Structure 1
Amino acid sequence: MAEESNIKPLNEEPEETPGYKAPAQKSLDEIKNLDADDESLVKYKQSLLAGVDLTAAPKDDPRRVIVEKMGLVVQGRDDIELDLTGDLSELKEKTIVIKEGTEYRIKIFFKVHHEIVSGLRYHHAVSRKGISVDKQSYMVGSYGPKAEIQSYLCPSDEAPKGMIARGHYVVKSKFIDDDKNVHLAWEWSFDIKKDWE
Structure 2
Amino acid sequence: MTDHEVDDLAPTETPGYKVGEKKTLEDYEKLDQNDESLKRWKESLGLHKDACPADDPRRVVVLSMAIEVEGRPDVVVDLSTAEAIEALSKSPVVIKTGVEYDIKIKFRVQHDVVYGLKYLHSVKRMKVSLQKTEEMLGSYGPSPNPYEKKFLPEEAPSGMMGRGTYEVKSVFIDDDKTRHLEWNWTIEIKKDWN
TM-score exceeds 0.5: yes
Aligned pair partner of 2:163 in 166, 190, 193: 166
C-alpha separation between the residues in 2 aligned to 1:62 and 1:9?
A: 27
- The letter for the 2-side match of 1:71 is A
Q: Look up the match of 2:112.
A: 115
Q: Look up the match of 1:76.
A: 71
Q: Look up the match of 1:12.
A: 8
CA shift, 1:20, in A, is 1.7
Q: Which runs of 5+ in 1 are unaligned?
A: 1-7
Q: Deviations over 1:139-173 (max 9, x none)?
A: 00111110011111111111111111111001101
Q: 8 Å contact 1:159–1:192 — kept in the other structure? A: yes
SS at match of 1:104: strand
CA distance change for structure 1 residues 60 and 76 in 2, over 3 Å: closer, same or farther?
A: same
For the aligned residue pairs, the C-alpha RMSD in angstroms reads 2.5
Q: 8 Å contact 1:10–1:132 — kept in the other structure? A: no
CA shift, 1:51, in A, is 2.1
Aligned pair partner of 2:57 in 52, 62, 71: 62
Task: Say if 2:159 is the partner of 1:192.
Answer: no
**TM-score (ref. length: structure 1):** 0.84
CA distance change for structure 1 residues 28 and 9 in 2, over 3 Å: closer, same or farther?
A: closer
**Structure number with higher helix proportion:** 2
Q: Percent identity between the aligned chains?
A: 44
CA shift, 1:28, in A, is 2.4
Structure-to-structure mapping, 1:20-35, within 5 angstroms: 20-31=17-28, 33=31
Tell me the matched-pair count: 185
SS at match of 1:89: helix
C-alpha separation between the residues in 1 aligned to 2:181 and 2:43?
A: 23
Structure-to-structure mapping, 1:27-176, within 5 angstroms: 27-31=24-28, 33=31, 46=41, 50-86=45-81, 87=83, 88-176=85-173
CA shift, 1:73, in A, is 1.0
- The letter for the 2-side match of 1:27 is T
C-alpha separation between the residues in 2 aligned to 1:21 and 1:60?
A: 33
C-alpha separation between the residues in 2 aligned to 1:156 and 1:48?
A: 34
Q: Deviations over 1:110-145 (max 9, x none)?
A: 111112111111100000111111001000011111
Q: 8 Å contact 2:25–2:49 — kept in the other structure? A: no
Residue range with higher mean Cα deviation, 127-136 or 61-70 = 61-70
CA distance change for structure 1 residues 58 and 129 in 2, over 3 Å: closer, same or farther?
A: same
Q: Which runs of 5+ in 2 are unaligned?
A: none
Q: Deviations over 1:50-109 (max 9, x none)?
A: 222111111232221111111111111111111112322221211111111111111111
C-alpha separation between the residues in 1 aligned to 2:131 and 2:42?
A: 35
